[in-house]
Chains A and B, each alone.
Chain A
Amino acid sequence: MEKTVSFHLNGKLTEILIDPNLTLLWVLRNHFGLTGTKYGCGIGFCGSCTVLIDEEPVRSCTLALSEIEGKSVVTIEGLAKDGKLHPVQKAFVDHDALQCGFCTPGMIMNATGLLLKNPSPTTQEIKAGMEDNLCRCGAHMRIIDAVHTAAKEMKGGK
């Protein structure tokens, strides 16, 4: 039942011989050592496992590996380029938009996906787009500010 699944992982073409029914979350964490993608619930309710698949934010805990064949997966580890933080990461640092930091990778990936689709979101649109990513520490207000800042930064960079 093992099969070769090939996909782009953080920009690199990757092949893995594996049971394609395994979920992306645990394969990323356990087989690729990419532990920035977090387990928070395993059933799609918290968003801490969010990664980008072909630029769309997706919950990796409910996604079978077979579904990413030929696609491009970006995790939190693949966001910074050449040691330079991605604007969303930088904005999270500048706004101190985190406390325990456990929801942070999922928040950043979801926000990045949001900004790829909507480069200048309103506060309402940010709230709606981030709604189902949960943060227990209550960093929400700063996350919204960080997304605004990142939006400006990303447009400036283009």
Chain B
Amino acid sequence: MKIRKTKPEKLIPTTDGSGMKRRSFVRLLGGGLFVFFNSWTFPDLFGGTPEQGRSLPKDYNAFLRIAEDGTVTCYTGKIEMGQGIITSLAQMMADELNVQFEKVKMVLGDTDLCPWDQGTWGSLSTRSFGPNMRAAAAEARGVLFSLASDKLGVPVTQLEVKEGIITDTKNTSNSVSYAELTKGQKIEKYLDVKPAVEDFTKFTYVGKSYNHADAILKVTGEAKYTGDLKLPGMVFARILRPPSHGAKLKSVDYSAAEKITGIKVIRDGDLIAVLHEDRERADQAIVKIEAEYSFNEMPVNDKTIFEWMLKADSGSNEIRSGGNLETGIKLSEKIIESEFLDPYLAHTAIETHSALAHLDGDKMTVWASTQSPFGLQEAIAGELGFKLEKVRVITPFVGGGFGGKGAAQQGIEAARLAKLAGKPVMLIWTRDEEFFYDTFHPAGVIKIKSGMDKNGAIKLWDYAIYYGGTRGSETIYDVPNVKATHYRQNRNAPAVHPFGTGAWRAPNANSNTFAREVQIDIMAAEAGIDPLEFRLKNLKDEKMIACLKAVADKFGYVAGKIPGGRGIGIACGTDAGTWVAHMAEVKVDKSTGNVEVVRIVCAQDMGLCVNPEGATIQMEGCITMGLGYTFTEELLFEGGNIKNRSFDSYEIPHFSSLPKIETLILDRKDQAPQGGGEPAIIAVGAVIDNAIFDATGARLYRMPMTPERVLEALKKV
């Protein structure tokens, strides 16, 4: 085998061994050109105390560190939960700094080491953190060039860098590596004029496909999630839970639990927990506690919730308006009014919320499955009355989040218990607790009144959201007379949602895209125009048009009026800076109401795609997960009592749910990269609804589209 020596490899020893270089390096140091610090403490890195540091730091050193062996460690407050940023951020860092991809190591979600971050959600890692990280890398690269220029005795303009080696272009034997310049230390030199980030066309790694960098760890069982950690003396906790949201503890008797050998019961106000070094003993003890509660339930359940919302004393605000609705009504030949319903949804990551807390001296360290390590740090510090720097949150691998791991409850619980017990406490929520304390995707009602002229041009769009959230509520179509209103919780009125709600995978964008795209389909059917043509006719948004054309092309779509009996649906939308269009084919069994999805095709414009393979996986994941909210997922509840708290009563997609999934990413190398972990889920409900309509003429206005609801809709055809 022939080993091809690359230039840099040859050059490293030359530079290193030249004697002069090393000495001049020391002289440079002494000359005060720049100073290295050994310590990497918080104030040092972030230029202030953690309380002051609640924004992304300005110092590029906070984002990266170059070790003596040339390894670049990249620090991010983001976390890895399967979305693949451990790979894609490393690709961006490697390209921006110009080092080998293999040399980049990621440190994620550690509040002592990583720059502050607001949380990993909203598909922001690439589009928001990415540019900041790249800017930091660009400045570091600039500084390294200026250091190299001094060291090599040639102007910066005469230097070039490849794989972490800066070389004099006029004398290629004159070169120095990043590692030699930094010696593993913090670089105390800054540029007054911040350099521009590299042009994407110059990138080597960005735009190429990489498999998950953590795959080997994950297929061998080596990857450590929070629940896999163990500390000496650690005990498992189980916490006494109320039977329903809003229930108040009246009395409790835990004498029977205390009889179990090794069980310790801890009580701090309403927090009652059992601790044991064996998880199962804690499981056995917790059910021995007898507790009485008083109830003050909201008179609402999963069936009455929509009426409840419409009747509630709501606050409202206009989120969009243009033209004049009266004009729109006058210009409209046909006006269509619809009401769409969406239930509460659970996140059901397969890893339940977990936290391990350990108080060592006056410092609390908490390992947690969280999407928001810094948020959790703050919450724990607040709860315990600790200074922020006395709380460290470390995020191991997270076993799925989907917006459901942004709250701090399990971390606070573990920290409180660890403080009380004086031992490390591991808290792994049961699946039952996971369902109960989920921050659910909010249920909501959307009402649309829309109108079109006799040519099928949309003239009126009056849109109202009740409690579902506004993300994804843009009209996207070119409509002159528009109004969108958001009816939401009135601060002075009683709570309308009976339990906590929060983010989900593209939460409200799913509801809003469902409503809009079904309404558009209804209008296309009324106008007697092919639904693709109807959309194109009413769109001005070039990216949306391009996605629709691309998906139709890949699908092999032949135009036709609906319902045409073919079972083909179309839908589109935007989310997180990304555009998506879907087409689907379904078969409906009219006797059972069962819908079989044969095929889903999705085209996506996400700007420059950092890791096409990673993005494709996310699209497939989105589509698969979308089939859950489309067909089966719905939280059942009575007052504050969550009724489906296990995987047999809350059904998420299974292997048999799987259609043929085809994806297409538009080539947009000239545009900034956008979010990819969520967009492809938003139109799944709508595309299936529209396909069911095309197959049968039955229209559904409510998700999930269970066989019973399909049968119900079929009756109205």
Q: Is the CB of B220 within 8 A of A80?
A: yes
Task: Give Cα distance in the complex from A140 to B340, angstroms.
Answer: 30
Chain B residues whose C-beta falls within 8 Å of the C-beta of A108 in the assembled complex: 219
Q: Residue-by-residue, is A83-110 near B (CB-CB < 8 Å gives 1, otherwise 0)? A: 0010001101110101111111100100
Q: Is the CB of B624 within 8 A of A141?
A: yes
Residue A76 interfacial (CB < 8 Å): yes
Residue B475 interfacial (CB < 8 Å): no
Task: Give Cα distance in the complex from A88 to B214, angstroms.
Answer: 16
Task: Give Cα distance in the complex from A102 to B652, angstroms.
Answer: 16
Q: Is the CB of A104 within 8 A of B624?
A: no
Which residue of A is nearest B658, CB measured?
Answer: A140
Chain A residues whose C-beta falls within 8 Å of the C-beta of B348 in the assembled complex: 136
Contact of A37 among B221, B397, B617, B652 (CB under 8 A): B221
Q: Is the CB of A75 within 8 A of B397?
A: no
Residue A13 interfacial (CB < 8 Å): no
Q: Is the CB of A96 within 8 A of B613?
A: yes
Q: Is the CB of A136 within 8 A of B220?
A: no
A135 and B350 contact, Cβ closer than 8 Å, known pairs A99-B83, A127-B658: yes
Task: Give Cα distance in the complex from A39 to B402, angstroms.
Answer: 19
Residue B593 interfacial (CB < 8 Å): no
A138 and B225 contact, Cβ closer than 8 Å, known pairs A26-B278, A30-B279, A39-B352: no
A75 and B654 contact, Cβ closer than 8 Å, known pairs A40-B431, A99-B621: no
Which residue of B is nearest A96, CB measured?
Answer: B211
A24 CB to nearest B CB, Å:
11
A50 CB to nearest B CB, Å:
12
A9 CB to nearest B CB, Å:
14
Chain B residues whose C-beta falls within 8 Å of the C-beta of A98 in the assembled complex: 82, 212, 215, 218-219
A99 and B617 contact, Cβ closer than 8 Å, known pairs A40-B351, A45-B647, A138-B625: yes
Task: Give Cα distance in the complex from A140 to B623, angstroms.
Answer: 11
Q: Residue-by-residue, is A17-53 near B (CB-CB < 8 Å gives 1, otherwise 0)? A: 0000011001001100111111111110110100000
Task: Give Cα distance in the complex from A96 to B213, angstroms.
Answer: 10
Residue A137 interfacial (CB < 8 Å): yes
Which residue of A is nearest B212, CB measured?
Answer: A96
Q: Residue-by-residue, is B223-235 near A (CB-CB < 8 Å gives 1, otherwise 0)? A: 1110110100000
A93 and B399 contact, Cβ closer than 8 Å, known pairs A22-B280, A141-B620: no
Chain A residues whose C-beta falls within 8 Å of the C-beta of B352 in the assembled complex: 39-40
Residue B349 interfacial (CB < 8 Å): yes
Q: Is the CB of A45 within 8 A of B646?
A: yes
Chain B residues whose C-beta falls within 8 Å of the C-beta of A29 in the assembled complex: 228, 279
Within residues 327 to 352 of chain B, which ones have a CB less than 8 A from any CB in chain A?
Answer: 347-352
A interface, size bucket: 35 or more
Q: Is the CB of A100 within 8 A of B278?
A: no
Task: Give Cα distance in the complex from A140 to B655, angstroms.
Answer: 6
Task: Give Cα distance in the complex from A126 to B656, angstroms.
Answer: 10
Which residue of B is nearest A139, CB measured?
Answer: B621
Most chain B CB within 10 A, of A41, A48, A89, A100, is at A100
Task: Give Cα distance in the complex from A79 to B222, angstroms.
Answer: 12
Q: Is the CB of B219 within 8 A of A136?
A: no
Task: Give Cα distance in the complex from A92 to B402, angstroms.
Answer: 22
B interface, size bucket: 35 or more
Residue B216 interfacial (CB < 8 Å): yes
Task: Give Cα distance in the complex from A90 to B215, angstroms.
Answer: 10
Residue A132 interfacial (CB < 8 Å): yes
Chain A residues whose C-beta falls within 8 Å of the C-beta of B400 in the assembled complex: 99-100, 102, 136-137
Q: Is the CB of B399 within 8 A of A138?
A: no
Q: Identify whether the interface residues of A are mostly helix, strand, loop, or mixed.
A: loop
Task: Give Cα distance in the complex from A104 to B620, angstroms.
Answer: 17
A3 CB to nearest B CB, Å:
16
Residue A8 interfacial (CB < 8 Å): no
Chain A residues whose C-beta falls within 8 Å of the C-beta of B347 in the assembled complex: 136
Chain B residues whose C-beta falls within 8 Å of the C-beta of A90 in the assembled complex: 219
A83 CB to nearest B CB, Å:
10
Residue A144 interfacial (CB < 8 Å): yes
Chain B residues whose C-beta falls within 8 Å of the C-beta of A133 in the assembled complex: 655
Q: Is the CB of A136 within 8 A of B211?
A: no
Task: Give Cα distance in the complex from A133 to B218, angstroms.
Answer: 16
Q: Is the CB of A36 within 8 A of B220?
A: yes
Residue B398 interfacial (CB < 8 Å): yes
Task: Give Cα distance in the complex from A35 to B224, angstroms.
Answer: 8
Q: Residue-by-residue, is B641-658 near A (CB-CB < 8 Å gives 1, otherwise 0)? A: 000001110001111111
Q: Is the CB of B215 within 8 A of A100?
A: no
Contact of B658 among A37, A99, A136, A144 (CB under 8 A): A144
Task: Give Cα distance in the complex from A34 to B622, angstroms.
Answer: 31
Q: Is the CB of A48 within 8 A of B219?
A: no
Contact of A144 among B225, B621, B655 (CB under 8 A): B655
Within residues 249 to 283 of chain B, which ones have a CB less than 8 A from any CB in chain A?
Answer: 277-280
Q: Is the CB of B279 within 8 A of A26?
A: yes
B114 CB to nearest A CB, Å:
20
Between-chain CB contacts (< 8 Å), 28 pairs = A22-B278, A26-B278, A30-B279, A33-B230, A35-B228, A39-B352, A40-B431, A43-B646, A48-B350, A79-B220, A85-B219, A85-B220, A89-B220, A96-B617, A98-B218, A100-B82, A100-B351, A100-B397, A102-B225, A128-B655, A131-B656, A136-B652, A137-B82, A139-B617, A140-B624, A140-B658, A141-B624, A142-B617
Beyond known contacts A38-B350, A38-B351: 9 more, CB 8 A cutoff:
A22-B278, A79-B220, A92-B215, A93-B211, A103-B350, A135-B350, A136-B402, A138-B623, A141-B661
Closest 3 CB pairs of A and B: A36-B221, A102-B399, A100-B82
